[in-house]
Chains A and B, each alone.
Chain A
Amino acid sequence: MAAIQAIELSKSFQHFQVLNRVSFEVKEGECYALFGPNGAGKTTLLRILATLHRPTSGRFEMNGYDGLRQKMKVRESIFLISHGSYLYDDLSVLENIRFAIGLRGGNPTASQIKRALDRVGIGAFSSLKSRHLSAGMKKRLSIAKAMLVQPKVLLLDEAYASLDERGVDMMNTYIREVTREGMTVFITAHDRAKTAEVAHRAGVLNRGELRELVVSELLTAHALF
């Protein structure tokens, strides 16, 4: 069954057409990696799939739910990690996690949270106010949230941004593990070598249009765009 199905998605903002009839499909348990130049529309596409923006035309389905008419159902089964960290400066790491997941209806135990924080490498910082976190630590915190939420589809905008090399490996280990367990992962990235380690499929978004790639191209092609 297709976990993500996009059908002729187009998006224009006030002064700009960003996506032009983008269609693709991602199966359950697959990791799809999207490349493309800055400003090509990768983030916009991800945000539409996350039900943040309404597409100008076209439709999409996430886990079988209509992205436009069954938004709540879609939101229950996906998790987005994007530019915004969704953190409150005055709250500690632990409090932020409990709040974010509490809003979703979850109630992770203290030990579950500790385990997730340890896995992403910030276990020592659970009482630190999030205003003191670096960008990389905030990214790790978002991954810890994803581990606790266990969505059916994980949307990762700039998967490796802000992460140091151990962080990048940790991310890849996580992606490998969850795709094996059936989670679908959709990432945008710029690091071809690291992405090739985990991606089952890949594509390039350029000037609003999507071109499918063979994963081996990630390592062999001279330039993708």
Chain B
Amino acid sequence: MVASRFISKLQRYEGWFGIASGLLIMVGLYLGLVTSSPDYYQGEVVRIMYIHVPAAQSAMLAYTVLFGGSLWYLWKRDPVVDNMCHAAAGIGIFFTSIALVTGSIWAKPTWNTWWTWDPRLISFAIMLLILVGYVMLRTFLEDKEKEATYAAILAIVGFIDLPIIHFSVEWWRTLHQPLSISTRGVSIASDMLIPLLLMSIGFYLLFTYMLMVRTQMLYLQHLLEAKRGRMLSKVHL
């Protein structure tokens, strides 16, 4: 069956992604937290950027994968693609939460506030709500035949809306409180760039690794239920 060949390919290569991401993250963290220079204005606390920025990037990657996969699912109806979407949403919640928490930890010593109403943070918070809503919809829908389709619809609408949400929040913020403070206020010195790059790629690879593992888990779960169904229907009556 074509699906299981793809799944076994995932199984074969996932380890490489896991190892590669682990290595890159370790090196990136060492360079970033230990050897790179602190920021001129923000001092040591800027080091949280080495986690915050890659986490945010991987969160957006998860959201994009969810969108692309949902379109693909509505077109081809491939159940493995649906598993991948479900996986991407959960992993997206993980990275988005990290981005928000690290953003908050960054904000406190820097601007003495846990939450800054920065347009990007707000957009991320809303993205988190959308992803949580997606997973809740999938959990609460009792009609399992429709689950994948309805979830795909939600993901597509949510993805199209997110840029609009971001723009409108940004306009609103500039209207009511000029952006005098911004999380973009970091001048990147050259020895910050390399650890940041390593962490970015490392996180992307981590996302890919997690996606491969979780997609397989969901696929196997469905397979198990189907097998159980076939056994049950032979036993009953």
Contacts and interface: CB of A to CB of B under 8 A. Distances in A.
A18 B145 CA distance: 14
Interface residues of B, number: 10
B237 interface: yes
A17 interface: yes
Interface residues of A, number: 13
B237 A17 contact: no
Q: Is the interface of B mostly helix, strand, loop or mixed?
A: helix
B183 to A, nearest CB: 45
A16 B145 contact: no
Interface in A7-24: 12-18
A208 B226 CA distance: 16
A109 B233 CA distance: 49
Given A15-B232, A16-B233, A37-B237, A53 B145 contact: yes
Contacts of B225: 14-15
Interface of B: 144-145, 225-226, 228-230, 232-233, 237
Given A37-B237, A39-B237, A207-B237, A17 B230 contact: yes
Contacts of B237: 37, 39, 207
B225 to A, nearest CB: 6
B193 to A, nearest CB: 51
Interface string A49-70: 0000110000000000000000
Interface string A199-222: 000000001100000000000000
A151 B1 CA distance: 39
22 contacts: A12-B226, A12-B229, A12-B233, A13-B144, A14-B144, A14-B225, A14-B229, A15-B225, A15-B228, A15-B229, A15-B232, A16-B229, A16-B232, A16-B233, A17-B229, A17-B230, A37-B237, A39-B237, A54-B145, A207-B233, A207-B237, A208-B233
